[in-house]
Amino acid sequence: MKKTFRSGDAEQTIINDLDLDICQGDFTVIMGSSGAGKSTLLYALSGMDKPTSGSITFCCEDITSYNADKLAVFRRKHCGFVFQQIYLLDKMSLMDNALTAGLLVGGKKKEIVRRAEALFAKVNLPEVTWRKLPSQISGGEAQRAGIVRAVINRPEVLFADEPTGALNSHNSDAVLNVFTELNRDGQSIIMVTHDKKSALRGSRIIYLRDGKIFGECDLGEYTPDNAERTGKLNAFLTEMNW
Amino acid sequence: MKQIIHLSHYFFKKDKKQILSFGFILLITSLILHLATVLALRIDPAYDRQSDELHSADIDIVLPKYTDSDELSDAVCGHSTVQQLEKQRAILQKAVMKDFRGTDFELNILFYNWDDSRSLHQLSCLERSEEAVTNPVYLPLYISEFGEYPLNEKITFSIDGREFTFTVAGVVQEMHYGNASAEIMGVFLPDEGYRHLAQEFPGSEVINYAVRTAEGADVQNVLADLRQTAEEHHSPVLFALTGEAKKQSRMMVTNLLTVILAAFAVIVLLVSIFLCQFRIKTSVAEEMVQMGVLKSLGFTSGGIIRAIVLPYTLTALLFSALGASVSYALLPYLVDVLALQAGFRFDVPFSPAAMILTVALLTGVTLVFTRLAAGKLRRLQPIAAIRGLTEGKDMKKNRFAIARTPGSVNGVLMLKQMAASSRQNVLLFAVLFVMTILIAFSGSLFYNVIIEPDHFMNTLSDESPDMILQVSSSDINSMKQIISTLDGAKNVLSYSVLQVQVEKENAAAFVCEDFSKTRNDCCYEGRNPSSGREIAIGSALAERLGCGIGDEVAVTCSGTSRSYRVVGLVQSINNRGEICELTEEGFSALSGGEKLHTLYVYLKNSADADEFIDQTEAICGENIVSAVNAAKKQSEAQYMYTSIVNVVIVAVFTVTVLIVLLILYVILRSMIIQRRQEFGVFKAIGYSGRQLVWQAAGSLMPVTIAAALSSALLGLMYLPAVYNVIFGMIGAMKNHMEQPVGVLLLFAAAEIVVTLLISILLARPIKKIEAYSLIKE
Ligand SMILES: Nc1ncnc2c1ncn2[C@@H]1O[C@H](COP(=O)(O)OP(=O)(O)OP(=O)(O)O)[C@@H](O)[C@H]1O
Ligand SMILES: [Mg+2]
């Protein structure tokens, strides 16, 4: 795919003839310097934005030609999103945030409420917390609620753009643990990050530069305190001039 | 000061479109208010000026010429308040004007001699035929324009079954008589035609005593004195008219319209006040942090408030001046319609007073209310604002929890959105509530004037059968028998209108065999007379004679007097309340068995009055003096009101749609700006643009529906009061207007649908918000 932006007269190529396969079940991490086009790639992959040329195929389905409404339906069925700024809907409780997404796809309300409750339990948010409004909770709690909202529809892919960017290290760990756990249960994840600690959770690291894949590294499954993986990643990032 | 202007400029630029829509609403307000002000300030003086220019008399009394004498005129002149008397000769005939606006119109006509010189009731010739015409007649403007007899056209009067055709040689401005609602009018024949007519109808010559009274004299009292004087000189007063009465009837529509426009303007003004309050409060909330920063920079509260208020005040000044100017483009059309009604031409020159009044009022109101709305800035602590501590105050609870609220997720989200925006709900409710007052009023007019016109017409008119038959046969009863068996006839009543005197007052006597069978019950207190000793009297008579139900009054007709007991009060706008009702039995006792010869015929709904007239004339043609299609005459009169009501309804709907459009524009624009990010999140989650548009529009609907329905239903309570006031202005003590729930709800429903459509249209920009835009923030 290729993605260009036009600002005024100048045309800027952000993603340049990039060719990438993403595999089911992987925890793919996208890295690169600021402005490399990581977010641009992520949002193109997830059907939030369209590539200038080229195509994106999801499970044999070409989504490039979809119109806005069709893309919306595609997103609600197949994609989940976690944002750096979290973006919970601030006028409703955490539970309602999750249900706003969950009920969009359809199904019995009771069943979906139960699924949401189970997910909140999984991310360690007790009922007193998920009854609260976003303005009444901590950043880590908010991001975990964001993850519940993102996965409630059992999406094929969970997209995350610097999910720990706004969190302190304690909260970061909690969020990353949720990601790891989800991935173990078979959830495919594509995550953009700047942070080595976060990247370590991934099974496959992709490094972007000048709109192209500059390097790639296979880390295998995450296990805590694995010095071999850490070394491998360090070496890769040094090679990438990070 | 420079800083404040700079800041003001910033506020204006930020809210440009919303301030402009406020300006447009103010433009509409100003337009309507200015129309009302000009009418109120200009037309009444124009009428008085015209009257003065033409030296109108204050009182006119018509007497038979053979009873006139120098002694009588000396006696009249001798009255202490009579300043000037002019005797004007004329021929009085009850005549039918053929093809008056497409129908036959019967009324009393005074044929004056055009060549007589006059000092009172002067005439000014507006148009005059260039060439000599045969049988010339000079018509007053009202007859020429409203009756549709332009210059050089023919006009035919049918008098006593004989037809006299004249050519309109000129159109004159006169301020002597009223308009169609008066029962008498004058036309002017040159000497030759006058003498010819006088020969044809010897003994029908009358003298009009045109009297000018001293300033400040009580005209009603003077009139009563003059009646007395005439009586003492054995001269029956055939007609009496005061300047006040004719002004009332001529200016009725104008006055009504002025009041309605003023009410209209107040309502729209309320809307614009709500709007600027909403905008300023929202703007202050949106800019809380900046306000805090400004304060920390050393701006005073007063300075910031002035900077916020300034753009609104300037907009108000500019747009109200603009609206007032635009209204000058509309005035000529409005004035044309009114002039047709009032029977005199007035041009509306530029009125600085009306302009200044309108602009000053609107600008002043805007200044006061924007200052009030911005006032809460004074209490704002800079640090609190910067830390955002003032926010989140209104959102502490998760309203409409999705798990517990039944319904689809889209529906629940609408409710959530609605619950989260109380300020917007208040504005929407207030605006739709007041706009629905207008909608309900026009719905009610629509029902009472167009669907059930009898409600309206019966309030204004007297008894209205389908056909009025003058018969010559001495045996009126056998005629009645024959006609009531004809195809299409529903009912036939003997019903005549005659002149009598109640005590000293002239009055039209409605004589009917059985008032319970009439169509239009004009009794507003007590009941109609049912026996030979009973009478019901008109409101004006009751007031002037100072008598009420249970009193005895003496009625005089051709010299005989008899006393009756008042059993009811009746209204008649046509006769300005100077009427009475007598039973046939009661009247014949007074008139010594004089035969009545008018029949009122009521037809079945399906029957056609014209066909029925043909049928009647074919069967008993020799006994019929005249047959008038009263239904047609009524529907002609109705046509005028119908077209006015149609205009009102269209105007109300246009203004409502415009205002709702502007208000929704402001609301939805504020909403889209405030919730931009939220919409982006929704899109990222997978909500489609259409879903969000419906959600935004739908979140306005509960409030819209509540406001429209509650206001429409409240209309059931306040509309009767409104009608009482309006009809009270023209002297109706009771009206037949009804408030149908169905029609009010239908009009409210139309408003709701329009609101929904406009909201969907205006919420469309939500579609353009991209989920993708989130990452750029
Ligand atoms: N809508 C747009 N119009 C013009 N240029 C854009 C637009 N969106 C992104 N860009 C440009 O594309 C480039 C890549 O942006 P992108 O957000 O993908 O970077 P990134 O790799 O996510 O950086 P970061 O790590 O700072 O988030 C940037 O130079 C940015 O200025
Ligand atoms: Mg980025």
Tens-digit pLDDT profile for residues B498-516: 878 888 787 888 999 888 8
- What amino acid occupies position A88? L
Q: Judge whether A13 lies within some domain.
A: no
> Do the bridges between strand B552-557 and strand B467-471 make them parallel or antiparallel, or are there none, so unpaired?
unpaired
Domain that holds residue A130: 23-239
Instruction: Note whether B418 and B510 are same-domain residues.
Output: no
Chain B residues closer than 8 Å to A68 by CB: 688-689, 767
Q: Judge whether A123 lies within some domain.
A: yes
Number of domains comprising chain B:
4
Instruction: Note whether B24 and B142 are same-domain residues.
Output: no
CB count, 10 Å around CB of B650? 11
Nearest to A68 among B398, B685, B689 (CB): B689
Supply the ipTM of this predicted assembly: 0.86
Residue nearest (by alpha carbon) to ligand 1 atom 27? A34
Instruction: Note whether B514 and B577 are same-domain residues.
Output: yes
C-alpha B601/C-alpha B468 separation (Å) is 6
CB count, 10 Å around CB of A96? 29
Q: Based on the number of CB atoms within 10 Å of its own CB, is A218 exposed (0-12), middle (13-18) or buried (19 or more)?
A: exposed
Q: Judge whether B233 lies within some domain.
A: no
Q: In chain B, whose CA is at the least distance from the CA of A109?
A: B403
C-alpha B65/C-alpha B204 separation (Å) is 8
Domain that holds residue B16: 1-56+246-390
CB-based contacts of B722-729 (< 8 A; 24+ apart in sequence): B722/B441, B726/B256, B726/B259, B726/B260, B727/B459, B729/B255, B729/B256, B729/B259
Residue A18's closest CA among A214, A213, A215? A213
Instruction: Note whether B210 and B94 are same-domain residues.
Output: yes
Q: Judge whether A183 lies within some domain.
A: yes
**pLDDT at residue B503 in the model:** 86
Sites in chain B below the pLDDT cut of 70: 180-182, 381-396, 473-474, 636-637, 640, 774-777
Q: Judge whether B172 lies within some domain.
A: yes
Residue B651's closest CA among B392, B105, B333, B264? B264
**pLDDT at residue B323 in the model:** 94
Question: Distance, in angstroms, between B383 CA and closest chain A CA?
Answer: 19
Residue B268's closest CA among B658, B727, B585, B762? B658
Instruction: Note whether B566 and B706 are same-domain residues.
Output: no
Number of domains comprising chain A:
1
Asked if A100 and B770 come within 8 Å (Cβ–Cβ), the reply is no
Atom of ligand 1 nearest to the CA of B772: 1
Instruction: Note whether B410 and B533 are same-domain residues.
Output: no
Q: Judge whether B626 lies within some domain.
A: no
Residue A35 Cβ inside 6 Å of ligand 1? The answer reads yes
Question: Distance, in angstroms, between B282 CA and closest chain A CA?
Answer: 17
Residue A14 Cβ inside 6 Å of ligand 1? The answer reads yes
Give me the residues of B, 289-308, that contact A with CB < 8 A: none
Q: Judge whether B226 lies within some domain.
A: no
Chain B residues closer than 8 Å to A88 by CB: 681
- Picking from B216, B236, B261, the residue at the C-terminal end of a domain is B216
Asked if A72 and B401 come within 8 Å (Cβ–Cβ), the reply is no
Q: Judge whether B240 lies within some domain.
A: no
C-alpha A149/C-alpha B682 separation (Å) is 11
Residue A177's closest CA among A231, A131, A229, A223? A223
Instruction: Note whether B457 and B560 are same-domain residues.
Output: no
Q: What are phi and psi of A74, to 5 degrees?
A: -60, -45
**pLDDT at residue B392 in the model:** 47
Q: Judge whether B3 lies within some domain.
A: yes
Structure tokens at A183: 């991935």
Residue B206's closest CA among B91, B109, B107, B108? B91
- What number is the average pLDDT over the span A90-104? 89
**pLDDT at residue B206 in the model:** 94
Residue B128's closest CA among B154, B148, B155, B152? B152
Decide: B545 and B503 in contact? Cβ < 8 Å.
Answer: yes
Decide: B737 and B459 in contact? Cβ < 8 Å.
Answer: yes
**pLDDT at residue B474 in the model:** 65
Q: Looking at residue B39, what DSSP letter applies? A: I
- Picking from B390, B421, B439, the residue at the C-terminal end of a domain is B390
C-alpha B138/C-alpha B151 separation (Å) is 9
Q: Judge whether A16 lies within some domain.
A: no
Instruction: Note whether B173 and B193 are same-domain residues.
Output: yes
Tokens 């499970």 belong to residue: A59
Asked if A85 and B678 come within 8 Å (Cβ–Cβ), the reply is no
CATH number of the domain that A125 lies in?
3.40.50.300
Question: Distance, in angstroms, between B305 CA and closest chain A CA?
Answer: 30
Q: What are phi and psi of B726, to 5 degrees?
A: -65, -50
**pLDDT at residue B363 in the model:** 95
C-alpha B253/C-alpha B180 separation (Å) is 12
Asked if A48 and B771 come within 8 Å (Cβ–Cβ), the reply is yes
Q: Judge whether A189 lies within some domain.
A: yes
Atom of ligand 1 nearest to the CA of A36: 21
Q: Judge whether A31 lies within some domain.
A: yes
Decide: B421 and B480 in contact? Cβ < 8 Å.
Answer: no
Instruction: Note whether B341 and B424 are same-domain residues.
Output: no
Decide: B591 and B501 in contact? Cβ < 8 Å.
Answer: no
Q: Which residues of A touch B (CB under 8 A)?
A: 39, 43, 48-49, 68-69, 72-77, 79, 81, 83, 85, 87-93, 95-96, 99-101, 103-105, 109, 113, 131, 133, 135, 149, 153, 161
Instruction: Note whether B348 and B420 are same-domain residues.
Output: no
Question: Distance, in angstroms, between A21 CA and closest chain B CA?
Answer: 22
- Please count the residues of chain B: 777
Residues 6+ apart with CB under 8 A from B85: B73, B76, B77, B209, B210, B211, B212
Q: Judge whether A35 lies within some domain.
A: yes
Instruction: Note whether B199 and B211 are same-domain residues.
Output: yes
- Please count the residues of chain A: 242
C-alpha A136/C-alpha A140 separation (Å) is 12
Instruction: Note whether B70 and B209 are same-domain residues.
Output: yes
Decide: B671 and B399 in contact? Cβ < 8 Å.
Answer: no
The tens digit of pLDDT for each residue in B396-421 reads: 678 888 888 888 888 888 888 888 88
